[in-house]
Amino acid sequence: KAKAKAANKKTTEEGDPNRYYMPADVATKIRHRKWDPHTALDAKAIMERQTLAMLEEFKEQGISRGLDALRHALILRRGDLASAFQFLDFSKTGSISFSEFATGLEVLCLDVELLTGMSVKAVFRGLNRRHDGA
């Protein structure tokens, strides 16, 4: 157990993009929806803490809460928006379903409601250009 905890530790130095990532074991459980209530609470707490820290950084940079903050968060996590899209498209179909969007943002440890002030569903609808759920 101690080895697993040590393996999941990430550096938290300033400038390290990995400082926002969720520990691998928690992210895997989220992605595969295999968690117990304690893991879910831990994951939510981690996501909230990291998103709030990210929002503070964005505020210092003049980036306001909303879709702009989500865009910057995705770039911070994946390097650019194209890479973020590829990551969120788990099925590799060229489109992202609501399920892929919501799960992918959880794996990236992004609390959409904190970042944007909108529900995940509202953000997805706003970004869904074809209005077909994909």
* Mean pLDDT value across residues 3-22: 45
Residue 106's pLDDT band, with cuts at 50, 70 and 90, is confident
Would the pLDDT of 38 be above 70?
no
Average pLDDT for the chain: 76
What is the rounded CA–CA span in Å between residue 11 and residue 38?
24
* pLDDT (0 to 100) of residue 129: 65
As a whole-number percent, the residues of the chain with pLDDT over 70 amount to 63
Instruction: Tell me the pLDDT tens digit for each residue of 49-103.
Output: 888 889 999 999 999 999 999 999 999 999 999 999 999 998 999 999 999 999 9
Q: Which two tokens stand for residue 36?
A: 């117990």
Planar angle of CA 109, 11, 32, nearest 5 degrees = 35
H-state helical runs in the chain: 2-8, 24-31, 37-60, 67-78, 81-88, 98-107, 112-116, 120-127
Q: What is the dihedral of CA 26, 105, 86, 70, to 10 degrees?
A: -140
